[in-house]
């Protein structure tokens, strides 16, 4: 009995096994779905289905620069033991190198390797966030990776103009520490700003601040809120007397990406 790609997908969803195992099971059982599922169970492969329900809160990150582009790839798993294993770290490095070179879609070529790890390491393993940023003409790009227990846990890529490679790297390290969310105030969703403004106003009124002083107090506190979130407004991690924009001088950060495991 012939079987189709949809049959393979259905068997995978039913049993939780990888693509190759599903194909083999259907081939061995002439396309009979129930018989293939039983065959996988007998072989001890269908137990992978249980793993897909377990929460993958651990993982490893890699960031790779290739020419004018840099990529961050996250692989998720269940335990720190697996996250720092050589084969796990090696695969996420290979994936980020491919994404930096060929784009985010390059992760699709690693499906079989991921499924092999799922089977051999017996954990819920999956690709997490995949990000790629590229520098334009007259821009520089740099990266930072914080390593903990042999695997990356905090990855940053930054693109800048009008600054040196060293300064771009310093900003990447700052981002790793300060974890900004936005590049400009305009990127902050208006509903978040409105909600924070309302909260600040309520807090200020509850503190008994004079009505006439409220507008200035609210704006001051809202500015402090922005400084926690918007990269150029943050105090520079190595010298909190200056902001990132002051550190950059006439330079500018044009793009950045950050991924932290578990976040």
Instruction: List pLDDT tens digits, range 141-200.
Output: 999 999 998 999 999 999 999 999 999 999 999 999 999 999 999 999 999 999 999 989
Model pLDDT, residue 116 = 86
Alpha carbons 223 and 218: distance in angstroms, whole number: 9
Whether residue 36 is found in the same domain as residue 67: no
Shared domain for 197 and 123, answered yes or no, is: no
Whether residues 249 and 180 share a domain: the answer is yes
CATH assignment at residue 43: 1.10.8.10
Say whether both 156 and 92 belong to one domain.
Answer: yes
Distance between CA atoms of 63 and 146, rounded to whole angstroms?
10
Give the pLDDT confidence score for residue 37 in this predicted structure. Answer: 81
Euclidean distance between CA atoms 131 and 139, whole angstroms: 19
Mean pLDDT value across residues 57-62: 88
Select from 77, 157, 168 the least CA-distant residue to 125: 77
CATH of the domain at 208: 1.10.286
Residues 41 and 122 in one domain: no
171 close to 238: Cβ distance less than 8 angstroms: no
Strand partners, 187: none
Number of domains in the chain: 3
CA-wise closest residue to 109 among 93, 98, 97, 120: 98
Q: Are residues 82 and 176 in the same domain?
A: yes
Spell out where 27-135 has E strands: 58-66, 69-77, 126-134
Say yes or no to pLDDT of 49 above 50: no
Phi, psi of 131 (to 5 degrees): -130, 145
Of 14-18, 31-35, 240-244, 247-251, minimum mean pLDDT range: 14-18
Mean pLDDT of 218-235: 95
With contact defined as beta carbons under 8 Å apart, do 11 and 37 qualify? Answer: yes
Whether 144 and 67 share a structural domain = yes
Say what the pTM is: 0.76
Q: What pLDDT is stored for residue 48 in this prediction?
A: 47
The β-bridge partners of 236 are 239
Q: How high is the mean pLDDT of the chain?
A: 89
- 47 pLDDT more than 70: no
CA distance 241 to 205: 31
């Amino acid at each position: 009995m012939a079987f189709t790609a949809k049959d393979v997908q259905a068997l995978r969803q039913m049993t939780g096994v990888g693509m190759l195992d599903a194909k083999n099971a259907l081939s061995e059982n002439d396309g009979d779905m129930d018989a293939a599922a039983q065959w996988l169970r007998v072989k001890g492969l269908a137990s992978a289905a249980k793993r897909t329900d377990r929460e993958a809160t651990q993982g490893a990150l890699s960031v790779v620069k290739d020419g004018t582009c840099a990529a961050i790839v996250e692989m998720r798993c269940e335990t720190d033991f697996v996250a720092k294993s050589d084969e796990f770290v090696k695969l996420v490095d290979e994936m980020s190198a491919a994404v930096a070179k060929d784009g985010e879609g390059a992760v699709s070529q690693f499906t079989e390797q991921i499924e092999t790890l799922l089977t051999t390491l017996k954990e819920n393993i999956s690709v997490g966030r995949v990000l790629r940023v590229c520098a334009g003409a007259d821009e520089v790009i740099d990266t930072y990776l914080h390593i903990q227990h042999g695997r990356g846990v905090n990855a940053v890529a930054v693109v800048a103009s009008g600054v040196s490679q060293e300064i771009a790297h310093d900003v990447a390290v700052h981002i790793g520490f300060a974890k900004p969310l936005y590049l400009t105030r305009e990127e902050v969703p208006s509903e978040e700003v409105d909600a924070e403004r309302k909260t600040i106003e309520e807090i200020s009124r509850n503190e008994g601040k004079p009505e006439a002083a409220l507008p200035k107090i609210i704006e001051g506190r809202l500015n402090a809120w922005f400084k926690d979130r918007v990269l150029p407004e943050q105090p520079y991690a190595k010298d909190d007397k200056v902001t990132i924009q002051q550190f950059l001088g006439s330079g500018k950060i044009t793009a950045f990406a950050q991924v932290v495991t578990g976040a």
